[in-house]
Amino acid sequence: MNTQYKKIYITMPTIATFLVILLATPLFAAPPQKNDIVIGNFSQSDLNGWEEKEFAGKTKYQLVKQGKVTVLNAKATAAASGLFKEVEIDLTTHPYLNWEWKIETKHQNLKERSKAGDDYAARVYVVVSGGVFFWKTRAINYVWSSSEAKGNIWPNAFAGKNAMLVAVRTNQDDSGTWYREKRNIFEDLKNIFGEEIDKIDAIAIMTDSDNSKGEVQASYGDISFSSD
């Protein structure tokens, strides 16, 4: 029977290959809205304002191309250093933190509530400064956990209840796959610390393995604050 349509046959290997490429490629987030505040403009190869803080050796941070997108790659080999940026964000107007991340290699079932297991393939921090009252500084660490259940919250093994960790992703999530996150920082600070905090003073990222002496690797996409 004649037909004007051409049939296109897609084999299962072709589909599988396409899915692998798609999942390994950074997500294309919607363009920042006019009033969004871009903190990590990694896709534009911009590290302006970011500083490194070394704790135990240096994690290797570098801007790399993944597909057509530039991202920040981090590799830690028995090391721990983070990148931070001092920036004041008004949470009454821009309460939502948005970011993308993936891990290439992961930690295996660390006891993360102990000092020996306080390592994470990927972390994103928000920091509320205590000013001269440094003991009042508070932080939330959004982490890719190796052993905690998704949604669990617990105090940092070194800093105690002033730095609380939230398991956003876990080892149940796929390695090599990009995930897009959105957190209401105003609400998270209120729920975790029991008070309304209307601004943060810094944001940080870290990939570390100094306590477990392992090797992990992660990538971070752009980071921004938005009104909704």
pLDDT for position 20: 40
Taking every pair of C-alpha atoms in the chain, what is the biggest distance, in angstroms? 83
Q: Domains in the chain and their CATH numbers?
A: 12-226 (2.60.120.260)
162/158 Cα distance (integer angstroms): 10
46/136 Cα distance (integer angstroms): 32
Low-confidence ranges of the chain (pLDDT < 70): 1-34, 132-133
pLDDT for position 19: 38
pLDDT for position 131: 80
* 164-167, long-range: CB < 8 A, 24+ apart: 164/138, 164/139, 164/140, 164/192, 164/193, 165/112, 165/140, 165/141, 166/140, 166/141, 166/142, 166/192, 167/143
What is the value of pTM for the model shown?
Answer: 0.85
Amino acid in the structure at residue 3: T
Amino acid in the structure at residue 45: S
Residue 135 DSSP symbol: G
For 72-126, what is each residue's pLDDT tens digit?
999 999 999 999 999 999 999 999 999 999 999 999 999 999 999 999 999 999 9
pLDDT for position 11: 39
